[in-house]
Structure 1
Amino acid sequence: MGDVFDGQTLSQERAEMVMGHLMDGELSQMQAAALLAALRTRGETVDEIIGFARAMRGRAVKVPVRVSGPLLDTCGTGGTGVNTFNISTASLFVLASGGVKVAKHGNRAVTRKSGAADVLEALGAKLEATPERLARSVEEVGLAFIFARAHHPAMKFVAPIRADLRARTIFNSLGPLTNPAGANRQLLGVYDPALTEPLAHVLAGLGVERAMVVYGDGIDELTVCGETRVTELDEGGVIRSYTVHPAHVGLGFYDRLELAGGTPEENAVTIRALLNGEIHGAKRDVVLLNAGAALYLADKAADIEAGIALADDLLNSGAAAEKLEVYLEFTQRA
């Protein structure tokens, strides 16, 4: 750790070792807090984040999903301070109804009123499940929600330190990088546009085949309220950055207030209404955009625009609404 305090960077191997000591409870709270603060002050390198993520992945309770082809995660860092409805969670049911296998890794709300776990519970999902049951959910239903708190027991040593620091740390980024099902495709939203390129390189280093790291003008999703910065990793390992404007993919342009969210119960009502075709405008368009990008990542569409058209068909046909009910029924069975 002395190297970190001296401002030096760590190799992937040394970073993995240091994070292992932290997550195994081998550092005092003072040492751990000093380490996290030093990293935040200096800024973490790509190699360090890869090493940290490997340490966290190695201590996770795995979900043994057996599928051939793409396995997608749609997860964000949070931390934007903007309270939208649960966009990526609503998109889940569109994706699964389109044949995408989704292992969504998430948690309860931290910086807004409703996280993925909160709104899924409000919809009627039972979230506590064995790893084997979650794997079956992906294989048979097409999606599962992997509750982070149940799959990262080593975080018990870290949680009180993060609470005491009351500031963003590397763990804001590590959660989305440590999917226990080993997702090989990822749509990752971030709280800072400066993170899109570094985290795309991290995902490549962790073996992810295709990914988009996105920052949507203040939210950790693709947005219909401005331009979205996207850094894309393709199957050949090429990483490129570009912007997506809603008008350029056939969608409307809206005020951010039109994406506002409420309590988990209110957001659950919104998601049901949207899937049932009762909501149009900003909320529907932002789900189309995020689902369209994910369908493209999962090889279901040639580009984002084609993905949006497919997502529109899945909503119009009622397939996405039906997938929600199938998922809820599966989670409620013993």
Structure 2
Amino acid sequence: MNGLAPFVAILGRGQGRARSLTRDEAFAAMTEILDGRAAPEAIGALLMLLRMKGETAPEIAGFAAAARAHLSPWTGPRPALDWPSYAAGRTRGQPWFLLSAKLVAQAGFPVLLHGWNSHQTSGSSVRDTLDIPGVARCTWQDAPSYLAAGGIAYVALEDVSPDLMRLLRLRDVLGLRSCINTVLRMLNPAGAQATVQGVFHPSYRELQRDAARMLGQRDLCVLKGGGGEFEHHPSKDISLHGLRDGALWEGATGMAHPGRQRLSEATGRLADVWAGTAQDDFAIAIVVSTAALALDTLGVPNAASAARDLWTRRHYSQAA
């Protein structure tokens, strides 16, 4: 019998009989998939039933735990901060958060970025701009040495796990997003104590927070960010959800920049704004306020002031 049949039956028995998967059931189902024992029809049925029902925190935690167990081992010191980047990118501009991540790394907190951004246009995707802020793309095996050398690295999902990449790309077949997008945000493949996550739909903030707590995450910040990335809109006071030392936590961002602008209206190239040859106060506010939220997640006191100081001194850092 198909290894996923019992789990499909649990989800699809019909009104009054169907139920959500337990964490253990979700772990077992994802293990069946990643071990290659599940038929493609059953994988599609499982993912779409979950989408129709709505995922629960135990399901996401079980899937993420199984996905982590499937990865090749991380071979070096853990990064301080995990920074997933899996937004579609249809409604955002340039990935200013890359400069924020670089500021965090220059503050002495190694940052591991990982992701896939399938719908961003050429020239504005995360991968197209990696070389501009000096964030190295590397393989999963080389990431520990890149972090040790420069404090920041980006690993593409297909390098982290080709199997997870194939699951994510089922969106092209099914025509709909699945819970795999959320699972990947929860992956934290190198086991960092702190992680930052963006969402596009506000309801996912609590879902991801609760799943992270089940997975033993210590420090977490989730916000509705630019295009679904962890990127703060500095002219909005945005609700924050997360964890501090494993306990539930909520906050707000405050407003770091006056006026009303869309994130896509920030001008200039990342390299030029970083170098100071282009001046865009709104773009700088995006970078600094996003870095402040990440630093706060890492436990840095007076994070907003620290982020501003890092921006001012960015060219004098040994890691710059």
Matches for 1:10-25 after TM superposition, within 5 Å: 10-25=21-36
Partner of 2:234: 224
Which deviates the most, 214-223 or 7-16? 214-223
What are the superposed Cα offsets for residues 148-193 of structure 1, whole Å, 9 maximum, x if unpaired? 1111122255255321112111011111211321122011001111
Partner of 1:191: 200
What are the superposed Cα offsets for residues 113-171 of structure 1, whole Å, 9 maximum, x if unpaired? 2332231146676624351x310221232112122111112225525532111211101
Q: Is residue 2:53 matched to residue 1:42?
A: yes
Partner of 1:233: 243
Partner of 2:4: none
Matches for 1:199-214 after TM superposition, within 5 Å: 199-214=208-223
Asked if structure 2 preserves the Cα contact closer than 8 Å seen for 1:71 and 1:185, the reply is yes
Asked if structure 2 preserves the Cα contact closer than 8 Å seen for 1:32 and 1:161, the reply is no
Cα gap change, 1:119 to 1:130, in 2 (>3 Å): same
Using the TM superposition, give the Cα deviation of residue 97 of structure 1 relative to its aligned residue in structure 2, in angstroms: 0.9
Q: Is residue 2:311 matched to residue 1:315?
A: yes
Partner of 1:116: 126
Using the TM superposition, give the Cα deviation of residue 35 of structure 1 relative to its aligned residue in structure 2, in angstroms: 0.8
Among 13, 16, 19, the alignment partner of 1:8 is 19
Q: Is residue 2:283 matched to residue 1:283?
A: yes
Whole-Å Cα distance in 1 between the matches of residues 69 and 120 of structure 2? 29
Whole-Å Cα distance in 1 between the matches of residues 281 and 118 of structure 2? 27
Flag structure 1 segments of 5+ consecutive residues without an equivalent. Answer: 262-266, 325-334
Whichever residue aligns with residue 144 of structure 1, its letter is A
What are the superposed Cα offsets for residues 82-126 of structure 1, whole Å, 9 maximum, x if unpaired? 12211221212111111111111223x223223322311466766
Whole-Å Cα distance in 2 between the matches of residues 76 and 153 of structure 1? 17
Q: Is residue 2:265 matched to residue 1:257?
A: no
For residue 193 of structure 1, give the secondary structure of its aligned residue in structure 2: coil
Asked if structure 2 preserves the Cα contact closer than 8 Å seen for 1:40 and 1:169, the reply is yes
> Identity across aligned pairs (percent)?
21
Whole-Å Cα distance in 1 between the matches of residues 158 and 316 of structure 2? 27
Aligned residues: 305
Whichever residue aligns with residue 240 of structure 2, its letter is V
TM-score (norm 1): 0.83
For residue 83 of structure 2, give the secondary structure of its aligned residue in structure 1: strand
Cα gap change, 1:322 to 1:83, in 2 (>3 Å): farther
Partner of 1:179: 188
Q: Which has the higher contact order (CA 8 A, sep 6+)?
A: 1
For residue 323 of structure 1, give the secondary structure of its aligned residue in structure 2: coil
Asked if structure 2 preserves the Cα contact closer than 8 Å seen for 1:314 and 1:320, the reply is no
Cα gap change, 1:231 to 1:219, in 2 (>3 Å): same
Q: Is residue 2:170 matched to residue 1:161?
A: yes
Greater helix content: 1
TM-score (norm 2): 0.86
Cα gap change, 1:136 to 1:80, in 2 (>3 Å): closer
Using the TM superposition, give the Cα deviation of residue 21 of structure 1 relative to its aligned residue in structure 2, in angstroms: 1.3
Matches for 1:82-93 after TM superposition, within 5 Å: 82-93=91-102
Asked if structure 1 preserves the Cα contact closer than 8 Å seen for 2:114 and 2:156, the reply is yes
Whole-Å Cα distance in 1 between the matches of residues 165 and 263 of structure 2? 37
Asked if structure 1 preserves the Cα contact closer than 8 Å seen for 2:157 and 2:164, the reply is no
For residue 172 of structure 2, give the secondary structure of its aligned residue in structure 1: helix
Cα gap change, 1:254 to 1:166, in 2 (>3 Å): farther
Asked if structure 1 preserves the Cα contact closer than 8 Å seen for 2:273 and 2:280, the reply is yes
Whole-Å Cα distance in 1 between the matches of residues 120 and 166 of structure 2? 24
Asked if structure 2 preserves the Cα contact closer than 8 Å seen for 1:211 and 1:232, the reply is yes
Cα gap change, 1:270 to 1:80, in 2 (>3 Å): closer
